[in-house]
Amino acid sequence: MVSSQPNVEEQQLFADTRRRAEERLPARELLCEAVIGSGFLATVALLWVLDPPGSFAVAPAVICLAVFMLASRVRFETPFGFTVATQLAFVPLLFALPGPLVPLAVAAALTLARLPQVVNGEAPAQRLVRSLGNSWFSVGPVIVLAAAGTTPIHAGPALLVAMFAGQIAADVIASTIRNFIERGASLAAQLRDAWVYAIDFALSVIGLVIAEDLHRSPIVSLAALPLLALLAFFARDRAQRIESLIELNTAYRGTALVLGDVIEADDGYTGEHCKSVVLLAMDVTARLGLDAETRRNVEFAALLHDVGKIAIPKEIINKPGKLNADEWKVIETHTVEGQKMLNRIGGFMQCVGTIVRSHHERWDGGGYPDGLAGEQIPIEARIITACDSWNAMRTDRAYRTALPYETALAEMQANSNRQFDPKLVAVLLELVDETEGAAARLSQPEPVATQSGAHTETSAAGEGAGWGAPRANPTSVAVIVESIGAADGGNRDARSV
Ligand SMILES: [Fe+2]
């Protein structure tokens, strides 16, 4: 069963699934449901023709269907949808109804059970069409029975297991097609929900015991009700925990976005710069194939990496001339101050705070505040450092114009394995080659953006002249050389912050 602490990816899927359940089906999904539903009806019709249903006792069938409807309301949420405890009633239903009637009865029961939500306005009526697709699981055992030419009451253990396998196969095929078309979900991602089949198996055993006595005493189906009540309690508890988790993380994200706005209001250049770094860092993270939690942390740490600058006195931030050594020390505290701010928010923002603290560490150990080196530095911080530097070099600053593409490229390469993780530099340069590099080859090298501001973030190896220096136009080779010296810590005024 999915853990009580779903990971980031699962949390996003849960939230997405909840949102979708309240919305109308988009045309693409409606078409998908129409195809899956038509296939269901065609298969049932074929089964009917091949093995026309005979007579059956009404009372057991009606009681089983009533319990089935109740069970279908006991929903355990899964990342891609939900699972229900219907197996308690579905197995007896297989014993109560002729084969071809079972899938039709299941589809009708699922539709009727969903109807109150539609009447109450909690779900659009259009979503009732999904009941057909949700009934595919019931086709599997009926096909197995038809192939065996027998009825469930005469089925041995092997056939019963085969029926269950048929049920899983039909459900997996229908769900996989649906989730792939509607949400692009891979089979591997969906198989993480395979635990639901273990639950179904356990409930099938109980359903089988009930089914054995069904025709002697139809009321035996009601024996499933106490267990259903217990499962309903657990399902509600699980839904509440998932809701709390989603709400909490929504609050964290909202707080982070507000902080991002605060940074922008405090310093327009830094705000715009941070947003640009987010996009580039997310591209690098995606190219590296890192997991959802790392992607989330990179996104927020990139947005908030300079949030600590809010705590730096404005007379230092806005000082027109060069900064002295003491002022640089104050500036450098923005890493630790940023972490303190994010720690106060709590939750996953504490992880983001750790990354923010390290965004001025250097691969060779010459950075601050902790002098971490190599892989001691969180990978998220290494990604942000490289992207931050690239963006800073490629945008106009108050004291110089943006470096040309080829110059910035050379700067990154020169500082690979010194300031930056060489593996990340390779990925970053591969990415920018596809965008900025392609543009630079089509035309003469030129700046990609224009931003301005005094005394703003200068974390790039190519930050060159530093704060308060006159604007170079265009950037000269001397500035580049100076900036490399700065990257080595040789020039205090050009040192990155
Ligand atoms: Fe910074």
The Å distance, Cα 189 to ligand 1 centre, comes to 37
Q: Note whether 84 and 65 are same-domain residues.
A: yes
Structural domain count, the chain: 2
The Å distance, Cα 286 to ligand 1 centre, comes to 23
How is residue 472 annotated by DSSP?
B
The Å distance, Cα 228 to ligand 1 centre, comes to 56
Max Cα separation, the chain? 96
pLDDT of residue 268: 67
pLDDT of residue 398: 61
Q: Note whether 265 and 374 are same-domain residues.
A: yes
pLDDT of residue 155: 86
Of 239, 268, 295, at which residue does a domain stop? 239
Q: Note whether 398 and 353 are same-domain residues.
A: yes
Q: Note whether 20 and 134 are same-domain residues.
A: yes
State the chain's mean pLDDT as an integer: 82
Of 239, 266, 285, at which residue does a domain stop? 239
pLDDT of residue 5: 67
d(CA 357, CA 340): 9
Domain containing residue 351: 246-494
Of 185, 220, 239, at which residue does a domain stop? 239
Residue 354 makes CB contacts below 8 A (sequence gap 6+) with 339, 378
pLDDT of residue 444: 60
The Å distance, Cα 235 to ligand 1 centre, comes to 46
Q: Note whether 217 and 328 are same-domain residues.
A: no
Q: Note whether 173 and 275 are same-domain residues.
A: no
pLDDT of residue 468: 32
Q: Note whether 445 and 484 are same-domain residues.
A: yes
Kindly report whether the global pTM for this prediction surpasses the value 0.95.
no
Which ranges of the chain have pLDDT less than 70? 1-5, 268-270, 398-400, 443-497
Q: Note whether 168 and 289 are same-domain residues.
A: no
Q: Give the burial string for 410-445 (b: 16+ CB within 10 Å, else e).
A: ebbebbbeebbbeebbebbbebbeeebbeebeeeeb
Strand partners, 77: 82
d(CA 311, CA 341): 9
Q: Note whether 329 and 426 are same-domain residues.
A: yes
**Is 357 within the bounds of a domain?**
yes
The Å distance, Cα 307 to ligand 1 centre, comes to 8
**Is 52 within the bounds of a domain?**
yes
**Is 2 within the bounds of a domain?**
no
**Is 1 within the bounds of a domain?**
no
pLDDT of residue 4: 54
The answer to whether the beta carbons of residues 70 and 22 sit under 8 Å apart is no
**Is 3 within the bounds of a domain?**
no
**Is 397 within the bounds of a domain?**
yes
Strand partners, 78: 81
How is residue 346 annotated by DSSP?
-
pLDDT of residue 241: 87
Q: Note whether 183 and 251 are same-domain residues.
A: no
**Is 80 within the bounds of a domain?**
yes
Q: Note whether 272 and 312 are same-domain residues.
A: yes
**Is 112 within the bounds of a domain?**
yes
pLDDT of residue 154: 87
CATH number for the domain spanning 299: value is 1.10.3210.10
Write the burial class of residue 148 (CB in 10 Å: 0-12 exposed, 13-18 middle, 19+ buried).
middle
Q: Note whether 233 and 256 are same-domain residues.
A: no
